[in-house]
């Protein structure tokens, strides 16, 4: 029964998504809307708190905030950085599999100045 309801909801979502251009149900999602892939979000970050929670579009990480580098998973536990910033993290194989290569957003220009 639940599965049928979910399917119906998805169908409805698809049907409703077609005419809407500006504010979609599938693409161009606002912050706080449910998503499955970062491509859907205006902010290009589909964020989930943990492996079991639902994912929602979230703003990108600002400087000095915790972040993830771009991955193929499509969702993030910590969002990717805002433009011009780099997520400074140690990339490990384990981390790549579990999507937990966390780091902090840094401005690459600041680093040069410090060196």
Q: Which chain residues interact with other proteins by CB under 8 A?
A: 9, 13, 16, 23, 25, 29-34, 54, 56, 59-60, 62-64, 82-85, 107, 109-110
Helix (H, G, I), strand (E, B) or coil at 1: coil
Q: Which is nearer to other proteins, 66 or 96 (CB)?
A: 66
CA torsion sign for 29, 31, 32, 34 is: positive
Cβ of residue 12: shortest distance to other proteins, in angstroms? 8
| Residue closer to other proteins (CB basis): 8 or 97 | 8
Tell me how far, at minimum, the Cβ of 91 lies from other proteins, in Å. Answer: 22
Instruction: Please tell me the distance from the alpha carbon of residue 52 to that of residue 41, in angstroms, as a whole number.
Output: 20
Name the strand (E) or helix (H) holding 8.
helix 2-17
Kind and range of the H or E run holding 98: helix 93-98
| Phi and psi, residue 103, nearest 5° | -150, -160
Beta carbon nearer to other proteins, 85 or 87: 85
* Minimum distance of other proteins from residue 74's CB (angstroms): 17
Q: Which is nearer to other proteins, 14 or 97 (CB)?
A: 14
């Amino acid at each position: 029964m639940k599965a049928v309801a979910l399917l119906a909801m998805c169908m409805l979502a698809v049907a409703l998504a077609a005419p809407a251009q500006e504010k979609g149900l599938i693409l161009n999602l606002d912050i706080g809307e449910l998503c499955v892939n970062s491509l859907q979000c205006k902010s290009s970050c589909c964020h989930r708190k943990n492996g079991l929670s639902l994912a929602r579009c979230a703003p990108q990480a600002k400087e000095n905030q915790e972040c993830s580098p771009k991955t193929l998973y499509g969702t993030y536990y910590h969002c990717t950085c805002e433009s011009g910033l780099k997520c400074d993290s140690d990339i490990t194989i384990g981390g790549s599999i579990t999507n937990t290569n966390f780091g902090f957003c840094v401005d690459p220009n600041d680093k040069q100045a410090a060196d």
